[in-house]
Amino acid sequence: MQNRVGILILTGVITLLCVYYLSFTFVSNSIKQDATNYATLANGNVDLDRKQHYMDSLWKEPVYLGNTLEEVTTRELGLGLDLQGGMHVVLEVSPAEILRGLAGGTRDPKFEQALKKAAEDQKASQSKFVDLFISAYKDIAPNTKLATIFANSGNRGKINFQSSDAEVRKMINEEVDGSLSRAFQIIQARVDKFGVANPNIQRLPGSGRILIELPGVDNPERVRRLLSGAAKLEFAEVYTLNDVAGGLDQLGAYLVQMEAERKQAAAQKTGTTGAATTDTTKKDNSLAAQLAQKNQPAKGDTAKADTSATAAQNAALTSLFVPISQNQLGVYLKDTARANEILGRPAVKTLFPVDAVLLWDRKPIVTNDNKEILPLYFIRKPAGRAPLEGDVIVDATNDYDDRGRPEVTMRMNAEGARKWRTLTAANINRPVAIILDNLVYTAPTVQNEIPNGSSSISGNFTVEETKDMANILKAGKLPAPTNIVEEAVVGATLGSEAVSAGVVSSLIGLVIVLVFVVVYYGRAGFIADLALFVNLFFLLGIMASLGAVLTMPGIAGIVLTIGMAVDANVLIFERIKEELALGKPFKQAIADGFTNAYSSIIDSNVTTLLTGVILFIFGTGLILGFATTLVIGILTSLFAAIFITRIILEQYVKNGRTLAFGTNWSKNLFKDSAFDFVSRRKLYYTISSTIIALGIISVIFKGFGLGVDFKGGRSYVVRFEKSVSTDDVRNALENELPGSLEVKTYGGTGVGGASQVRVTTSYLADDINPESDKETEKKLLAGLAKIQGNKGSVESSQKVGPAIANDLIYSAMWSILLAVAVVFGYILIRFKKLAFGYGAVVALFHDVLIILAIFSIGNGFLPFSLDIDQAFIGALLTIMGYSMNDTVVVFDRVREYLRDTKGRKESIAVIINNALNSTLSRTAVTGLSTMLVLIVLFFFGGETIRGFSFAMLIGVIVGTYSSLFVATPIVVDALNRDQLNDTSVTPETPAKTTKTARA
């Protein structure tokens, strides 16, 4: 093999990188286990506060290769919500409310009618809300310019009454996009404040939506309030350290007393005598020096005692606070929880002015030794309210001052200008805080009175910081309220069960594939197994390096990738066996076998890769996790099969050793096979058409079982202590949850049968108010309480709004059509004949229609869910990729046989039959190994992916069938028509299939 040394070096580099990135996962898990051990009490329970304290103490400390614990956890291979529990939320910025804000509260009834009509139209359209609104308004008021509504004082400087509709449309679109940016920043700040480890927050492209994933969250109601509440912008005075110096002195004394009481209690517990003393000899020249200046003692012993007391108080204060500047205090980030607890005590609150509110800065200051200090502010809020709030802001922009430094300019309305004048006049040379959601974004010092409401904020800012601050200030003008349009809550128990199911199914599937390969290929199978291990190691390492999250479908993708990775090795081994059968030496047979297999390997994997990429682009949530794993798995399996397997094989036969590529059981299994696949193709067409026709009839009269993804509503997984009848659950809930109600068995076993059900309801499905979630769950629990002697608890929940459901349907349809178009284009480019493109496309549609027919016919009869949801669409696209993988391998051999037999008087049917028989061994081995893996997934993978694995299992069977009995026979028909007058090829005759030898 050429470039052998280069391949070995590349393999070594990839191996070292995988070891490096995977090591963070092992270190993180080890520290988490240490924290659990540290927090485990004598009775075996875990003190969660003690565990969190252990983690906090190391959060900013180097723990591995110079990386802090925070950096280690961000680099570990994280678990998805379905594996550890948590909450998935999709927020949508309300465009109707933004338009109302831009319209300045107009009372024009036509404006409201247009908003209502746009909201209705959006349910069945992919167009932007702004475009739908303008179209609706023009229908309702055809002779009215948009400027008559939107040209007001709030939009001054952007449009006026003479502005054209195009200019107004542009302004509206810019403001709506800006509102999304502001909402994203606000949500990001709120989630950071929430304190979730490794949250995922991202804007969904092409929509006004924000995706938030919060692993480990166990309080969904708090999250809903946090994410959907309107942003609160405030301007308030700041107490300086001199203003609160007396309170700080008393706080120091309070802390000294608290420490003395703690030591005394400890001494009494241990039986130690003697009073607790405080070491005050340690000199402190930071906070103590600042705070002790006004308390210098006069003279004598009294002065000495006072100095000692003051030093003790200052020492106690410095154990809590860190001086940032002469007029600013802070707290180490890891100590903020302790500071909040102490400063929140009633006794401590009385030490400071009654109208003082303690707020934190929005971001910490990083010190030279890489520690983080969070500034603390004493904010003055008379009667609990700031003197000025964000609704007075008319506009805010980032700009540059006369020295070319970035600054922020803002403009207020008349009422705001009046209040701002009063506030700035009273605080010249003092700071005024700008607060959003109780976080201080900046506290600039007022230079002079600002009389007209137009002011600038300057300082040591970057351009990005001024842009962010301008967006924050504009959030006061356009609150951009957000609605939760999709939500999923997975309980920790369900997540841990998913982990167990995933690990078990992965191990069993892996073992079965490894054993099967060895049984079929003998010693050569061990080489293939070693390549599979390398593939799995590279796959996990690359996922860790990319920061990918492992989900339950992701585990399915790993297991499926292992099963499909066998295909490349099978193609190589079968080609080597053919070369050996021609009498070639081992080294030459291996080289020629790899060379001849490359075309099939590349073509088959590229088609699967293309569908994986489409899944990655269009998929979200669990499907995105599956697509990520699939795409990476295809690339690693190609590398392992083409390079690793070849290096091992060549090294093995280097000294003249030989290797058997089969066992006594398998070596003659498909030898000299001569099945006639083509002559009965009309029978196969009839069988497929009959199944599809039955499916169409079923869809017309029965329809599909649509998941909540595609029909909207709420879905809950409920676990009971004992087995339960779905009829009993439905009867208990139908009065509490009016409207559409479905109750289906959802895995799990109890005493005598199923103990888990999935409840899907349309109750309050269109209500975007967060209280509707609480109300629906309350009704659900009330209904469950009616089932006597069998307590039910909600393990997970999911909510999908109508808009999301419609979008998912559209994206699913486009995904399938795009996959068909891409595959057709690739086949056409590679095979240069329309006949192959026809066969591929017909086979794809055949597979899709057969799977849909089975899911419609079997829905309600099989003892597990056959709902059409996102997971099903992911399975469908993967099936299409697998089917193309299989079909392309057959097509590749057909193309080869057509080329080798050119000029011979053989019919198309005979040539293609020979090609199909020559690939039969590969088709059977790959199909069987993949099916074995999917059978394991189906039985052991857990209820989360049971419908997914069933669709995949049926799809592999149907895909293999279509490659042999649908796609290739269509190629026969097409080529017969195209080459009817070609003298080099005889049209189809009923001649018996023959084996064509290859030179």
DSSP state letters, 676-692: --STTHHHHHHHHHHHH
CA distances from residue 272 to 96, 260, 261, 266, 267 in whole angstroms, order as listed: 70, 14, 14, 8, 5
CA distances from residue 66 to 70, 78, 135, 501 in whole angstroms, order as listed: 12, 21, 59, 36
Going by C-beta distance under 8 Å and a sequence separation of 6 or more, which residues neighbour residue 771?
none
Q: Residue 758 pairs with which residues in a beta bridge? A: 717, 744
Higher-confidence residue of 815 and 583: namely 583
Tokens 């920790």 locate to: 492
Is-contact 978 967, C-beta < 8 A? no
Is-contact 435 236, C-beta < 8 A? yes
Q: What is the pLDDT of residues 507-561, one digit of tens each?
A: 787 788 888 888 888 888 899 889 888 988 999 899 888 877 777 667 767 766 7
pLDDT in the model for residue 688: 92
Q: What is the pLDDT of residues 581-639, one digit of tens each?
A: 888 888 888 888 888 888 888 877 887 788 778 877 776 655 676 778 888 888 898 89
Q: Residue 376 pairs with which residues in a beta bridge? A: 329, 360
Asked which of 36-40, 812-816, 906-910 is least confident by mean pLDDT, the reply is 812-816
Structure tokens at 774: 């609480």
Q: What is the pTM of this model?
A: 0.66
Rounded to whole angstroms, how far apart are CA atoms 435 and 431?
12
pLDDT in the model for residue 560: 66
Rounded to whole angstroms, how far apart are CA atoms 267 and 274?
8
Beta strands at 233-239 and 393-400: parallel, antiparallel or unpaired: unpaired
Q: What is 563-581 written as a DSSP string?
A: HHHHHHHHHHHHHHHHHHH
Is-contact 77 544, C-beta < 8 A? yes
Residue 492 has pLDDT above 70, yes or no: no
Region at 457 (left for phi over 0; alpha for psi -120 to 50; beta for the rest): beta
Three-class SS of residue 210?
strand
Going by C-beta distance under 8 Å and a sequence separation of 6 or more, which residues neighbour residue 273?
267
**Domains in the chain, ordered, with CATH?**
4-76 (no CATH), 90-229 (no CATH), 241-376 (no CATH), 387-478 (3.30.1360.200), 491-701+806-978 (no CATH), 713-799 (3.30.70.3220)
Beta strands at 372-380 and 233-239: parallel, antiparallel or unpaired: antiparallel
Q: Residue 716 pairs with which residues in a beta bridge? A: 759, 797
Is-contact 841 820, C-beta < 8 A? yes
Going by C-beta distance under 8 Å and a sequence separation of 6 or more, which residues neighbour residue 822?
610, 611, 614
Residue 730 CB burial class (10 angstroms; 0-12, 13-18, ≥19):
middle
If pLDDT is split at 50, 70 and 90, which confidence band does 422 have?
very high
Is-contact 914 895, C-beta < 8 A? no
Q: What is 948-986 written as a DSSP string?
A: HHHHHHHHHHHHHHHIIIIIHHHHHHHHHHHTTT-TTSB
Is-contact 21 544, C-beta < 8 A? yes
Asked which of 638-652, 797-811, 949-963 is least confident by mean pLDDT, the reply is 797-811
pLDDT in the model for residue 996: 41
Please compute the mean of the pLDDT values over residues 827-853 and round it to a whole number. 86
Q: Residue 380 pairs with which residues in a beta bridge? A: 237, 356
pLDDT in the model for residue 983: 43
pLDDT in the model for residue 949: 79
Beta strands at 356-361 and 372-380: parallel, antiparallel or unpaired: antiparallel
Please compute the mean of the pLDDT values over residues 218-245 and round it to a whole number. 78
Asked which of 468-477, 563-572, 823-832, 977-986 is least confident by mean pLDDT, the reply is 977-986
The side-by-side arrangement of strands in the sheet containing 482-490 is 200-204, 209-215, 86-93, 482-490, 792-800, 713-720, 756-761, 741-745
The segment with the largest mean pLDDT, out of 29-33, 296-300, 763-767, 984-988, is 29-33
Three-class SS of residue 66?
coil
CA distances from residue 593 to 575, 577, 598, 637 in whole angstroms, order as listed: 5, 8, 9, 18
pLDDT in the model for residue 15: 93
Residue type, 764: L
> Percent of the chain beyond pLDDT 90?
8
Residue 237 has pLDDT above 70, yes or no: yes
Residue 356 has pLDDT above 80, yes or no: yes
pLDDT in the model for residue 702: 85
Residue type, 131: D
Residue 769 has pLDDT above 70, yes or no: no
Q: In this structure, how many other beta carbons lie within 10 angstroms of the beta carbon of residue 74?
A: 15
Structure tokens at 701: 């009269």
DSSP state of 868: B
Q: What is the pLDDT of residues 76-102, one digit of tens each?
A: 887 777 677 778 788 877 788 788 878
pLDDT in the model for residue 219: 67
Helix, strand counts (H, E) of the chain: 34, 26
DSSP state of 878: H
Q: Residue 200 pairs with which residues in a beta bridge? A: 213
Please compute the mean of the pLDDT values over residues 270-284 and round it to a whole number. 46
Going by C-beta distance under 8 Å and a sequence separation of 6 or more, which residues neighbour residue 251?
317, 348, 351
Asked which of 209-213, 218-222, 919-923, 953-957 is least confident by mean pLDDT, the reply is 218-222
Kindly report each contact of residues 3-7 with a partner whose C-beta sits within 8 Å and lies 24 or more positions away, as own/partner. 4/647, 4/650, 7/643, 7/647
Alpha helices in 640-762 (DSSP H): 645-652, 681-701, 708-711, 726-733
If pLDDT is split at 50, 70 and 90, which confidence band does 295 have?
very low
Residue type, 90: V
Please compute the mean of the pLDDT values over residues 649-667 and round it to a whole number. 80
Tokens 């291990």 locate to: 533
pLDDT in the model for residue 297: 38
If pLDDT is split at 50, 70 and 90, which confidence band does 275 have?
very low
pLDDT in the model for residue 493: 59
Going by C-beta distance under 8 Å and a sequence separation of 6 or more, which residues neighbour residue 774?
221
> Percent of the chain beyond pLDDT 70?
81
The segment with the largest mean pLDDT, out of 188-202, 677-691, 891-905, is 677-691
Going by C-beta distance under 8 Å and a sequence separation of 6 or more, which residues neighbour residue 208?
92, 93, 95, 129, 176, 180
Residue type, 972: V
pLDDT in the model for residue 984: 43
pLDDT in the model for residue 283: 41
Please compute the mean of the pLDDT values over residues 719-731 and round it to a whole number. 84
Residue 278 CB burial class (10 angstroms; 0-12, 13-18, ≥19):
middle
Higher-confidence residue of 343 and 232: namely 343
Structure tokens at 822: 């891409």
- Indicate the length of the chain as a whole number: 999
Is-contact 841 835, C-beta < 8 A? no
* Mean confidence (pLDDT) of the chain: 78
| CA 455 to chain CA mean position, Å | 42
Rounded to whole angstroms, how far apart are CA atoms 298 and 883?
93
Indicate if the alpha-carbon torsion angle 559, 563, 568, 572 is positive or negative.
positive
Rounded to whole angstroms, how far apart are CA atoms 81 and 367?
35
Is-contact 430 240, C-beta < 8 A? yes
